[in-house]
């Protein structure tokens, strides 16, 4: 089992969430509020899907969801994300009463062509392309 932070099309309600099995395979980290804010990243959208880039700046924030997924699904998602140019990064998330680590997919700043990628200032991917 792996803990993953998803901020884009793998969030509940988006097409890859449903494509890979939805509620049957994505087990929320929290039964109350599964939405988390992570600092130090900027989010961009290319019109079809988002990416995030590490900045290290505490003022840069993104919103996402945390799920527990089995190793088989984790391997399928890894293949998809790496094939699209992402790399995996471990992040630490501050929960109400504790911190925990999760894996997330990010791109390097050099990969984000600003003429193709639009900066999402609020750090929250909109419900589009469902």
pLDDT tens, per residue, the chain with 130 residues: 999 999 999 999 999 999 999 989 999 887 667 889 999 999 999 988 999 999 999 999 999 999 999 999 999 999 999 999 999 999 999 887 788 999 999 999 989 877 789 999 999 997 544 4
Which pLDDT does position 130 carry in this prediction? 40
Task: Decide which of 3.30.830.10, 3.10.490.10, 3.30.43.10, 3.40.190.80 is the CATH code for 2-118.
Answer: 3.10.490.10
Which pLDDT does position 32 carry in this prediction? 62
Which pLDDT does position 7 carry in this prediction? 96
Backbone angles phi, psi at 84, to 5 degrees: -90, 0
Which residue pairs from 96-102 have beta carbons closer than 8 angstroms and sit at least 24 positions apart in sequence? 100/3, 100/29, 101/3, 102/3, 102/4, 102/5, 102/29, 102/66
Which pLDDT does position 87 carry in this prediction? 96
Which pLDDT does position 127 carry in this prediction? 53
Contacts of 123 (CB under 8 A, 6+ apart): 37, 41, 42, 43, 60, 61, 62, 63
Which pLDDT does position 129 carry in this prediction? 45
């Amino acid at each position: 089992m792996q803990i993953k932070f998803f901020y884009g099309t793998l969030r509940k309600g988006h097409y890859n969430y449903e494509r890979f099995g939805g509620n049957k395979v994505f087990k929320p980290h929290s039964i109350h509020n599964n939405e988390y804010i992570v600092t130090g990243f900027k989010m961009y959208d290319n019109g079809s899907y988002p990416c995030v880039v590490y900045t290290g700046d505490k003022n840069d924030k993104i919103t996402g969801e945390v799920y527990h997924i089995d190793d088989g699904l984790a391997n399928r998602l890894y293949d998809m994300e790496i094939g699209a140019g992402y790399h995996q990064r471990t992040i630490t998330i501050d929960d109400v009463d504790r911190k925990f680590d999760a894996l997330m997919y990010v791109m390097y700043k050099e990969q984000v062509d600003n003429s193709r990628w639009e900066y999402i200032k609020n750090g929250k991917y909109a419900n589009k392309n469902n």
